[in-house]
Structure 1
Amino acid sequence: MKRSSITRRDFINGVSAVTLSGLLGGSYAASAADSTTARADDPPLKQGLRGQYPGSFEIAHVARDGGFTGPVQARDTGEHYDLVVVGGGISGLSAAWFYRRALGPATRVLVIDNHDDFGGHAKRNEYRIQGRTLLSYGGTMSIESPFPYSFTAKSLLSELGVDLSRTGGIEQPRIFSGMNRGVFFDSDHFTADRILAGYTPNAPASFWKDAPLDEPSRRALIHLHDPRVNFLPGMTPRARRVLLQSISYETFLRNYAKLPDQAVAFFHGDGYRNNMRVDSCPAFMAMRYGAPGFAGMGIEQDPVDDSPVFHFPDGNASIARLLVSQLVSAVFGTPQNMESIVTAQADYGELDRAGSPVRIRLGQMVVRVEHVGGASAQDKAAGKAPVRIVYQKPDGSDPARHAVTAENVVLACFNNIIPYIVPELPDPQKEALKYPSKVPMMYTSVVLGNWRAWKQAGISSLSVPHGYYQHLLLDSPARFGAFETVLSPDEPVTLHMLRNPNFPGHPRKEQNRMGRAEMLATSFETIEKETRAQLQRIFGPHGFNEEQDILGLTVNRWPHGYAYTYDTLGDPEFPEAEQPHVVGRRPFGRIAIANADSGASAFTNIAIDEAERAVQECLVSRGYT
């Protein structure tokens, strides 16, 4: 059987920079102010608290709390579209693209999104530092998944100009020659503060000899990482699989690998698939994602056939930008490909231009989607009535509401808001849509004046088991035409820091809810303080000075982060047709549902696949197929 290798997925869901420059002193403030000189209104240049930032979602909570029961009054704009898409992330933009491809370039489409930028979780962070443009990603990071992309998803990427056969000439791994993955041991949980470089799931005894561990933990971790050891002897491969699906990875480590507490603490920062922690991740899934302890035993498993892996400097924001370039050509002006889109400047004033067949309306939240009044319930359910869509400012500051109508609607927003904005859905479908608990994640982008400390430590990525952020990664070295992401250690670079709120001892869904509450309650000032303190503690011994070396900071907060995925510990074994995401995505009249939630999988290819399915359902509802 093929075993998945370690990739960047192993480490893997505001204020303006001018305002931020007034809050922070030193060289950071000057750089933040300079970065907005050219395009102060460009959303990717905004720093501070981004992602689901204050002012982008408050009306959604009003809807959740019953604030929109009964008829919702709104001013009719007089606009009628073939399709309205609720949500401007990759799934929503893909739905608009598939719908126009099916019905032709004259098809009228409106995309509505509550944020000030398109892309959803595919968020772009942009900086102007010392005469250079630097980029980072504020959410979904890579073209990758633990299974092959479908024909649909691959075809869309190809038509957007993404050619993965060219990535070998784009990636520049030589820049990080001699640098690899490291682990930071903190003295609060181990015996000293120390970075160790060269960690792998089969780390040899030589790696552990300098680890700040007590001797029993050192011996236990050496034994665990020995690929020859079978911790489940006397069992068939099938029996091992059944056992590992029924226990957490922590239970495996404690009860079968016999790790003492300090050795188990080494794994407390690991987030396996969709932020499943050591206590909530099934041991079988931990094994599939490369966790140590399983190499020496035969375990029945399905073949692993990963997709290709490719990382744009701004993550999959480049895919969203390529979609926009084809939907509203005036936004980028000229045709774009996978290299040119990286540095292309978007004209946000062209997104919602009157007369354009496709319009993208930002900064508006949909609060009601319903088939037009006067139609019978039977006609609505049968798709014989068009749809009314009501929206308003997402922060609630303006009570004015506006309404448009459409022949079809694709809901590419979060599943958990749909029951509150589409009250005419059947109750079983509403309950299914409420089943998952979105995974909270925080992606912080930091601009460093140099990366000498990282070079000295010999690492390009770092796991921090008990840190405020659990995973730190320097940007990937790559060249897109004349644009290079990483230069010499003396040059500025973007650093990506990933935080998964961790509340061990609670069920996984409850951990997600607790993490969401913590994230919403934490101020930017507190996050900035924790960010600076962590970097100083880790890299101070290597010459890092947070007051001088941090030149930019963007906190991409995603309380409702990645799509919920099922697991063998936290979810019952549903029959396929009764899985909540399958029940929840059923079309209703002229309304269809597309998003990663509706595929129960937090990957870009799933968002694309679900968009195409929803569009097919729309076409059926209008009698086209």
Structure 2
Amino acid sequence: MFSDRELGMDRSINRRDFINGVVFTAAAAGLTAGAAAGPAAAQATTAGSAAAGPYPPARKGLRGQTDAMLKVPHALRDRAFDMGEPQPTGERYDLVVVGAGISGLASAFFYRQKHAGARILLLEVGDDFGGHAVRNEFEVRGRRLIGYGGSQSLDTPSTFSHQAKGLLKDLGIELKRFERYFHEETYKGLGRATFFDKETFGRDHLAIGKDGLAKAPMHKEALKDLAGIDSHDWLKGLSDEKKKLRLAELTYADYLRTVVKAHPDVIKYLRHVPSGNWGYDAEAVGALDAWADGYPGFGGLKLVSKAHRLMAPTEARFWDAEDEYIYHFPDGNAGVARALVRALIPGSVPGHTMEDLVPAKVRYDRLDVKGAKVRLRLSSPVVRVTGDGEVSYVQGGRLHSVTGGKVILACQHQMIPYLVPDLPEEQRLALKEAVRLPLLYTNVVLRDWKAFQRLGIQGVRYPGAYWLGASLDFPVSMGGYTHPRSPDEPIVLHLNRACSVSDPDPRVGAVKGRVELIRTPFEQIERTTRELLLRSLGQGGFDPARDIKAITVNRWAHGYALEYGRPWATFFPDGPLPSETARQPYGNLAFANTDALPRAYADAAIDAAWRAVQDLG
């Protein structure tokens, strides 16, 4: 057990601006001077604007879906919301979009393409736009550092739809240019390590390379099983098709447990291998998808390298793709969100190219200006949408309403039945099926990364600890922003955690994990982070009290959209699929968001937006 002093908990760093979700009081109640003055003032300019407080990307401590952001949605869910009748603002729009994540912003963009000059209002519950695609900024030793707080990369763009590729082109985002901005040589010679924690494996051990793994605190039979796990045909005697059908019936953990008959330590070691990609662990991820992802245990099966109909949609989609994982702005897909806002609201984001999106300071005071064709209103949770287009939302501590000829709900689908209570029962039930997976994305700013250089690593995997892993940030330099090149320079260290509780049904595990996550105070996350980094990197000279300069925790209680997959989704792929029922247009309402597909990828958000605009006719 380490003391507060050893961990640096007593140090004054940029971390506690907004502890435990008490994020800038105006974000919770919208108590800005303009909004508090009433609806007339709310139309004037920055209604509920993030400009009223610290610059949103630079806010520290707990970010993402904070307690303040979830306050109104949870009150609706609990039937505890009562603010009387809304005050009409008198504002009328051709389109109102609920949610200003990538899908909501793309919905507005596509609608404007079809209806030039249309008046559009986007209403966003959070204090920043982008949804999960958010930006974290830091200032350390006079240097500006940029990190991503959620949606990470444009993954496998060769598989993008015509509409998604077209939108990126229209925004000036040329994927080929990322090839010269991603500097792989920065971490040349640095590998990855695995840290075995004593709570899970009996003693702390940092394994670097094969020699390190040979000394890992696992049973000798487990090490033997791992060494031969890909050299044996565990389903010998079955045809290729029957092997795949058998794998589709099993979770990855069950396959290791009942078919491979691996030592329990092997399952502990591999349990979280899928978690970063899927949002849940080997107890729920299907063995067929584990094979498709290249996880250990399938090499000896000699399966035909061909996509199978029972694989999850993304596995089949990516099957023949060979894209490198380099299509990444320094702030992740927040760069895409910024490009959309710049295209929708002239003057909101300086510059004209994809490169100058990076250094640009967003003009939050330009997002919601009276008379503008497109307005984006932050900290404005929607509470009701009627069939005739009246949209009610909380802002400035009051309930307001606007009117939209059409409405696109680009928000989380589980919330929609509370916003539109008169939906058909079948659609309401389908929308509630859209369970989201809870996640934590944390950025820790280090004064330097000498400890990593001394250890010869660029990241650490934690098979049993609180975090899944810790990695030095993507080496991307563009638009005048230069990623740290020398170990003497400050850098962003990115940590991630899939918070779902281990369960064969990821929907059950997500709900349990979300409750646990929301109840976890920021200080506990900070202490756990500092202690784990000390234990895993200490032999390289890492000192959390000295080396940690800032911490931002991005909490996504409702994170990844849950993609269908075997064996838990027995209705997949033949259907009926809940997402297909959920996304059916209703009157003048259409539904976007990644839940509509469901696939937790930026291109899916764009595709859902394009389809929603077509549904409006």
Q: TM-score range by the shorter chain?
A: 0.7 to 0.9
Residue 8 of structure 1 corresponds to which residue in structure 2? none
**Would you say 1:262 and 2:252 are equivalent positions?**
no
Residue 357 of structure 1 corresponds to which residue in structure 2? 373
Sort the Cα spacing of 1:191 and 1:538 in 2 relative to 1 into closer, same or farther, 3 A.
same
Residue 79 of structure 1 corresponds to which residue in structure 2? 91
Distance 2:99 2:320 in 1: 31
1:95 to 107, 110, 119: 107
**Would you say 1:142 and 2:153 are equivalent positions?**
yes
Distance 1:231 1:24 in 2: 50
1:267-282 to 2 correspondences below 5 Å? 267-272=270-275, 273-282=277-286
1:165 to 176, 185, 206: 176
2:64 to 32, 46, 51: 51
**1:368 partner amino acid:** R
Q: Say if 2:97 and 2:407, in contact at 8 Å, map to a contact too.
A: yes
1:484-499 to 2 correspondences below 5 Å? 484-499=482-497
1:293 to 294, 297, 315: 297
Sort the Cα spacing of 1:528 and 1:197 in 2 relative to 1 into closer, same or farther, 3 A.
same
Residue 385 of structure 2 corresponds to which residue in structure 1? 369
Distance 1:212 1:502 in 2: 26
Residue 177 of structure 1 corresponds to which residue in structure 2? 188
Query: What percentage of aligned pairs have identical amino acids?
Result: 36
CA root-mean-square deviation: 2.4
Residue 63 of structure 1 corresponds to which residue in structure 2? 76
Residue 20 of structure 1 corresponds to which residue in structure 2? none
Offset from partner CA, 1:381-416 (integer Å, 9 cap, x none): xxxxxx1000004xxx82x21000011100000000
**1:540 partner amino acid:** G
Shift of 1:81: 0.4
Distance 1:555 1:73 in 2: 36
Offset from partner CA, 1:507-540 (integer Å, 9 cap, x none): 3211100110011111111111111111111111
Residue 534 of structure 1 corresponds to which residue in structure 2? 532
**Would you say 1:524 and 2:529 are equivalent positions?**
no
Residue 254 of structure 2 corresponds to which residue in structure 1? 251
1:453-468 to 2 correspondences below 5 Å? 453-468=451-466
- TM-score norm. by structure 1 comes to 0.86
Offset from partner CA, 1:259-300 (integer Å, 9 cap, x none): 111121101232344223111111111111221111222335
- The worse-fitting range, judged by mean Cα deviation, of 186-195 and 323-332 is 186-195
Is the partner of 1:330 in helix, strand or coil? coil
Distance 1:414 1:488 in 2: 41
Offset from partner CA, 1:178-237 (integer Å, 9 cap, x none): 112321112333354222235xxxxxx66643333221111111111x4x4322211111
Distance 1:329 1:260 in 2: 60
**1:361 partner amino acid:** R
Q: Say if 1:476 and 1:486, in contact at 8 Å, map to a contact too.
A: no
Q: Say if 1:587 and 1:593, in contact at 8 Å, map to a contact too.
A: yes
2:355 to 334, 339, 347: 339
Gaps of 5+ in 1: 1-22, 199-204, 373-386, 621-625
Aligned residues: 565
Residue 13 of structure 2 corresponds to which residue in structure 1? 28
Offset from partner CA, 1:410-469 (integer Å, 9 cap, x none): 000000000010012111000000013210001111101111111222221221011111
Residue 211 of structure 1 corresponds to which residue in structure 2? 216
Distance 1:146 1:339 in 2: 19
Shift of 1:41: 1.8
**Would you say 1:196 and 2:204 are equivalent positions?**
no
**1:216 partner amino acid:** E
**Would you say 1:41 and 2:54 are equivalent positions?**
yes
- TM-score norm. by structure 2 comes to 0.87
**2:103 partner amino acid:** S
- The worse-fitting range, judged by mean Cα deviation, of 496-505 and 46-55 is 496-505
2:132 to 121, 125, 140: 121
Offset from partner CA, 1:540-599 (integer Å, 9 cap, x none): 121011011110101100111110111212222257562100100000111000000001
Is the partner of 2:111 in helix, strand or coil? helix
Q: Say if 1:147 and 1:305, in contact at 8 Å, map to a contact too.
A: no
Residue 237 of structure 1 corresponds to which residue in structure 2? 240
Sort the Cα spacing of 1:175 and 1:606 in 2 relative to 1 into closer, same or farther, 3 A.
same
**2:499 partner amino acid:** P
